[in-house]
Amino acid sequence: MHIIVLNKMDLADRLQTQKWLEYFGEQNCICYGINSHNKDNIKVFLNFLQARVRELNKLGQPKHTITMMLVGIPNVGKSALANSLHQIGRISAAEKGRLKHAIVSPVAGETKDISSLKIASHPNIYVLDTPGVLPTEILDAEVGAKLALTGAIKDCLVEEQELARYFLAILNSSDAYKDWKNLPSEEVERSSEDHKAKLLGIHEADIRRRKQYPTDHTQDFVVRSVRRTLFETVSSFKENLENEEKMGKLIEAQFVALREVFHVPLGSDEDGIYKVAKKLLNLYRTGRLGHYTLDDILRNGH
């Protein structure tokens, strides 16, 4: 039994997920969309798996133990899915004992051994979490760039600056940035914070300010500033983005603007670009800048 799992899905991806589900359905593949961090999703998926196992039993397959294997490229959420299935499966079966954990990391290649985790009882079902697999040779440069951008290939093998430029080219060519059109301006946001400060009082307002670190790119107010900056730079750029030279011009302007947003100190240009690229890639890979489908759905062999 082969099941294709579209992991890390959420409501924002619903339309795109449905398209991929339909595509794999047309290929006569069992396909399931899931968010491995959503407990309700995991419970429904477990019920789905158990139903498939019951179908196997009707076909005369062994009824004692079923073992499934998670296989895929690095850094696509196999270990996170295995952990969620194990945790929810144990709760559903009311089983006791020490909870096992597969290693979860945003860095590719952290899973080095095969781990066996029990996810259901009656019948017993185990899932094997496996290290990521890649072809021995990647000849297509664009495929390599996509794998590197998602973190499937370690960053030490590809320059972060080039990956960040590649992401910005994808963002600038899509409509994703238009979702940030209604973000409040910095002046409105600052005015709102000042109003909250008056309501909270001086002491509470000082505490809130101390919790804000402009150099921490993961904080919400910094992420909003990044989104706002990217929206403004793309929407105000009037030249033809299908022209590679013009796209490069916009991307370099975005690097300059983001350097200020990320509070990267002035110094070596190369060092500054590297720091901006690292922060930008982190926000992309953690979903803070939205969700992007890097591959088009193939239709009729094209």
Pairwise pLDDT comparison (97 vs 116), residue with the higher score: 116
Q: Which residue has the higher pLDDT, 164 or 296?
A: 164
Residue-level pLDDT at 60: 65
Residue ranges of the domains in the chain?
Answer: 3-129, 141-285
pLDDT tens for each residue of 187-212: 656 655 555 666 656 555 554 555 56
Q: In the beta sheet, which residues pair with residue 128? A: 69, 116
pLDDT digits (tens, 9 = 90+) for 22-41: 888 888 888 888 888 889 98
Q: Is the pTM above the cut of 0.85?
A: no
Q: How confident is the model at residue 301 (pLDDT cuts 50, 70, 90)?
A: very low
pLDDT digits 0-9 by tens, 251-294: 999 999 999 999 998 666 778 899 999 999 999 998 899 888 88
H or E segment and range at residue 82: helix 78-93
pLDDT at res. 300: 53
- Tell me the average pLDDT of the chain: 82
Q: Where are the beta strands (DSSP E) in 71-210?
A: 115-120, 124-129
60: Cα separation from own chain's centroid: 40
| 67-92 per-position pLDDT tens digit | 889 999 988 888 889 999 998 887 77
- Residue 218 phi/psi, 5° resolution? -85, -10
pLDDT at 244: 95
Give residue 214's pLDDT.
76
Reading the block at residue 265, the tokens are 């100190």
Q: Which of 222, 228, 217, 211 has the alpha carbon at shortest distance from 281? A: 217
Q: Is the confidence at residue 138, as pLDDT, over 70? A: yes
CATH architecture of 3-129: 3-Layer(aba) Sandwich (3.40)
Closest by alpha carbon to 188, among 225, 158, 155, 160?
225
